[in-house]
Amino acid sequence: MFKRLCVIGTGLIGGSIARAAREQGLCEEIVAFGREKNLPNLQLAQELGVIDRFYTDIGLALHNADLVIVATPVGSMRSIFEAIKPYWHPEALYSDAGSTKGSVVEAVEAAFGHVPSNFVPAHPIAGAERSGVEAAQADLFRNRRLIITPLENTDAALVEKLSRFWQQIGSSVSLMSVEHHDTVLAATSHLPHILAFALVGLLGRKDEQREIFKYAAGGFKDFSRIASSDPTMWQDICLANKHEIIPLIQQFKAELSHIEQLLADDNTRQLFDTFTYARNARQRFLETFDD
């Protein structure tokens, strides 16, 4: 049980963490820090009962907070941690929800000159294409994974405490290195988002745009849903993890060229084998990991 949870960034993820923590009775009070220009969102968060109060003064928001979770776009993390630094409390647990971990750890290091042992980097593998507190849900993290990427000096007791927090709001917690996290998520989350943005952008530019979208059914809707995601969040993620993403884009281009060649050659057999391999691989993954 925490006395005061302070959420920095009360959008989809920060709002959902707050809602879930409240539902499970994990904090006595929930406050938020936000910017003046985001007042309507903060007021809405308070009206909806997601948070008890908000502050536009970060010192007031952090006062007496024993759990602080930063849930702003990853590109903003350095300035956020620089702003938190004067109020950093050695007894509090600080964490984040950023989609990339290397860049967040670098941001903390840049702000402090080292990574404090009471900062525990984390990432919920759950979300949506929607943004803002109005999209926040208490059950967003239920039966989803949460990855913690501790560093060598991270306080093990705080890793345990944060794991319990996320388990209590329904997540299954895994621990891995920062580097492994960024490699895996480049493939399973970042590349798919880039492909969806690229395909929808391509089709959107075509003259017959209205006809294309008019006749788009399930397959296109499934594939394109994530192209509705927030551009700021994804610009930040993609730039932050570009060293992992660029080689994957190159491999993907080679895969597309291979299929292009099979089509040009009318190579029915290999086309069938290519699609069958992918279908079976997906099936295997679903059976192993879809729990």
Ligand X SMILES: NC(=O)c1ccc[n+]([C@@H]2O[C@H](COP(=O)([O-])OP(=O)(O)OC[C@H]3O[C@@H](n4cnc5c(N)ncnc54)[C@H](O)[C@@H]3O)[C@@H](O)[C@H]2O)c1
Burial class (CB in 10 A: 0-12, 13-18, 19+), 86: exposed
For the chain, give percent helix, strand, coil, nearest 5. Answer: 60, 15, 30
Q: Which amino acid is at 230?
A: D
Asked whether 65 and 91 are in contact (CB, 8 A), the reply is no
State which of residues 128, 176, 195, 203 lies at the interface with ligand PRE (CB under 6 A): 128
Q: Which does 38 bind (CB under 5 to 8 A by kind): ligand PRE, ligand X, none?
A: ligand X
Which H or E run contains 279?
A: helix 268-289
Q: What angle do CA 163, 168, 173 make, to 5 degrees?
A: 35
Task: From 57-65, 121-129, 164-172, 277-285, give the range in contact with ligand PRE by CB under 6 A.
Answer: 121-129
Least distance in Å: CB of 214 to ligand X? Answer: 28
Question: Closest CB to ligand X among 80 and 92?
Answer: 80
Strand, helix or coil at 90?
A: coil
State which of residues 6, 9, 26, 244 lies at the interface with ligand X (CB under 6 A): 9
Tokens 């776009």 identify what position? 73
Query: Which backbone phi and psi does 4 adopt, to 5 degrees?
Result: -140, 115
d(CA 182, CA 180): 5
Least distance in Å: CB of 32 to ligand PRE? Answer: 20
107 is an interface residue for ligand PRE by CB under 6 A? no
Write out the binding residues for ligand X, residues 108-137 only, by CB under 6 A.
Answer: 124, 127-128, 131-132
d(CA 133, CA 79): 22
Q: Which does 241 bind (CB under 5 to 8 A by kind): ligand PRE, ligand X, none?
A: none
State which of residues 189, 191, 238, 241 lies at the interface with ligand PRE (CB under 6 A): 189
125 is an interface residue for ligand PRE by CB under 6 A? yes
Positions in the binding site for ligand X (CB under 6 A): 8-14, 34-35, 38, 41, 71-74, 76, 79-80, 97-99, 124, 127-128, 131-132, 230, 233, 237
| Interaction site with ligand PRE (CB under 6 A) | 99, 125-129, 189, 226, 229
